[in-house]
């Protein structure tokens, strides 16, 4: 029997829990302990100008944030920052849209096809269809995509929703018309072993999934090609004339503390996050094993250069499947658990995406409801 701890929160016992969004509140406790070291004071007269650095092509990027980003990637070893432009965005979806816009506007013919291998991050669909641009067209699943002409493949690794390590799947190595945007939102040591220093043309990162500060809405792109970076900057200027300086200042401060503590024995955030995720995954796997109804993907172990040892993967989302012929999102909803339907991710009704980043009490209620689902189902039959 799986032991469910911390089940004291009576007020949660009957309410609907929302694990559809990946709201990363799981990390609040760590930052509470860090206390005032991340506190930022901003006076009324501070940060008033639109401009951050007129000598930078991305003139709305705060130099201290650029520095903090480079130092963090250097310390973690997950991505190359040299000889690249940093473009800051209001969350990484703005940057993804800016990159799709930039690559499409530089393509010979339009609309440019945009694809991602299923199961994919469902927000890509909205990002590429919502404004009904004539410059690009969402073409869905990249597996089996063989349309002629320019295309953009969105590669998410580790993947949202299923946590797998991904490479491109549209196999046209010599095709100049094929472009790739790598979304590395989860390529951080608490989720997955850092096996290499990524070195791609366009790499997207988001503050929210590293530390949990989703509310700051800060993302960044590391871009090799100056023309692409310039077009992305133009897009952000048209879209929001830059990015909040208050948010950038706070992000810079927190990333700096993150970097300073990331080799510490007692305060290493990645160690903390890794232990928490590992613990949650072990509990979830325990419930799934006992249920006989559900399934979860298995992940291979790999040597992590950041931690200096071989480790497993503990993704930010669980890609929960069922062996029954059932609409899993509805089944979970019946048990007051909101999740993201597999169909929205280009998959099927038998899969859902469940956030692993909720607060501890919510996560434990989820486990309890999942453990009881088999029971309710067998009573139903
Ligand atoms: N990319 C992926 C793969 C994500 O899962 C998310 C968050 N769910 C984002 C980008 C965007 O994160 P944010 O909006 O917090 O920057």
Q: Which atom of ligand 1 is nearest to the CA of 219?
A: 16
For 287, phi then psi, to 5°, come to -65, -45
Using the 3D structure, point to which of 262, 283, 298 is the last residue of a domain: 262
To test ligand 1's pocket by mutation, which of 208, 251, 357 has the most ligand atoms within 8 angstroms of CB? Answer: 208
Using the 3D structure, point to which of 216, 232, 262 is the last residue of a domain: 262
pLDDT at 378 over 60: no
Q: Are residues 204 and 223 in the same domain?
A: yes
pLDDT of residue 12: 74
Q: Are residues 160 and 221 in the same domain?
A: yes
Q: What is the pLDDT of residues 85-123, one digit of tens each?
A: 999 999 999 999 999 999 999 998 999 999 999 999 999
pLDDT of residue 11: 62
pTM, rounded to two decimals: 0.95
pLDDT at 377 over 70: no
pLDDT of residue 292: 86
Residue 151 within a domain: yes
Q: Which residue from 147, 222, 134, 142 is spatially nearest to 177, judged by alpha carbons?
A: 147
pLDDT of residue 265: 87
Q: Is 199 exposed, middle or buried (0-12, 13-18, 19+ CB in 10 A)?
A: middle
pLDDT at 322 over 90: yes
- Give, using CA atoms, the residue closest to atom 16 of ligand 1: 91
Q: What is the pLDDT of residues 328-358, one digit of tens each?
A: 999 999 999 999 999 999 999 999 999 999 9
Residue 3 within a domain: no
pLDDT of residue 100: 98
pLDDT of residue 57: 98
Ligand 1 centroid to Cα of residue 206, in Å, is 7
Question: DSSP labels for 103-135?
Answer: HHHTSSSSSEEEEEPSS--THHHHHHHTT--SS
Q: Which atom of ligand 1 is nearest to the CA of 317?
A: 5
Q: Are residues 72 and 27 in the same domain?
A: no
User: CATH number for the domain including 143?
Assistant: 3.40.640.10
Q: Are 110 and 104 in contact (CB under 8 A)?
A: yes
How many other CB atoms are found less than 10 A from the CB of residue 55? 6
Q: Which domain holds residue 157?
A: 49-262
Ligand 1 centroid to Cα of residue 202, in Å, is 15
- Give, using CA atoms, the residue closest to atom 6 of ligand 1: 185
- Give, using CA atoms, the residue closest to atom 5 of ligand 1: 160
Q: Are residues 25 and 157 in the same domain?
A: no
Using the 3D structure, point to which of 239, 262, 285 is the last residue of a domain: 262
Q: Are residues 115 and 216 in the same domain?
A: yes
Complex-level ipTM: 0.99
User: CATH number for the domain including 352?
Assistant: 3.90.1150.10
Residues within 6 Å of ligand 1 by CB: 22, 91-93, 121, 156, 160, 183, 185, 206, 208, 214, 219
Ligand 1 centroid to Cα of residue 201, in Å, is 19
- Confidence class for position 259, pLDDT limits 50, 70, 90: very high
Ligand 1 centroid to Cα of residue 93, in Å, is 7
Q: Are residues 27 and 158 in the same domain?
A: no
pLDDT of residue 379: 40
């Amino acid at each position: 029997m799986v032991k469910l701890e911390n089940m004291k929160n009576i007020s949660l016992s009957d309410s609907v829990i929302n694990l559809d969004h990946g709201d990363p509140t799981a990390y609040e406790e760590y930052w509470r302990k860090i206390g005032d070291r991340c506190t930022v004071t901003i006076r009324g007269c501070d940060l008033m100008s639109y401009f951050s650095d007129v000598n930078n092509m991305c003139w709305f990027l705060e130099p201290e944030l650029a520095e903090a980003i480079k130092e963090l990637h250097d310390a973690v070893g997950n991505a190359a920052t040299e000889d690249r432009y940093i473009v800051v965005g209001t969350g990484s979806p703005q940057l993804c849209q800016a990159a799709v816009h930039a690559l499409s506007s530089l393509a010979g013919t339009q609309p440019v096809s945009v694809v991602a291998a299923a199961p994919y991050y469902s927000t890509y669909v909205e990002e590429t269809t919502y404004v009904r641009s004539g410059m690009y067209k969402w073409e869905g699943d990249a597996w089996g995509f063989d349309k002629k002409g320019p295309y953009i493949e969105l590669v998410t690794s580790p993947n949202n929703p299923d946590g797998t390590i991904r490479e491109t799947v549209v196999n046209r190595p010599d095709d100049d018309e094929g472009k790739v945007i790598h979304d590395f939102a989860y390529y951080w040591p608490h989720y997955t072993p850092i096996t290499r220093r990524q070195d791609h043309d366009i790499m997207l990162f988001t503050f929210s999934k590293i530390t949990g500060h989703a509310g700051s809405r800060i993302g960044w792109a590391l871009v090799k090609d100056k023309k692409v970076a310039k077009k992305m900057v133009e897009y952000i200027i048209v879209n929001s004339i830059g990015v909040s300086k208050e948010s950038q200042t706070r992000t810079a401060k927190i990333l700096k503390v993150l970097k300073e503590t990331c080799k510490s024995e007692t305060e290493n955030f990645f160690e903390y996050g890794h232990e928490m995720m590992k613990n949650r995954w072990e509990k979830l796997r325990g419930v799934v094993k006992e249920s006989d109804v559900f399934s979860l993907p298995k992940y291979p172990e790999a040597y992590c250069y950041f931690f200096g040892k071989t480790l497993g993967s503990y993704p930010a989302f669980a890609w929960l499947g069922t062996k029954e012929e059932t609409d899993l999102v509805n089944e979970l909803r019946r048990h007051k658990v909101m999740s993201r339907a597999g169909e929205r991710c280009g998959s099927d009704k038998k899969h859902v995406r469940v956030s692993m980043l909720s607060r501890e009490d919510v996560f434990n209620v989820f486990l309890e409801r999942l453990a009881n689902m088999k029971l309710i189902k067998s009573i139903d039959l």
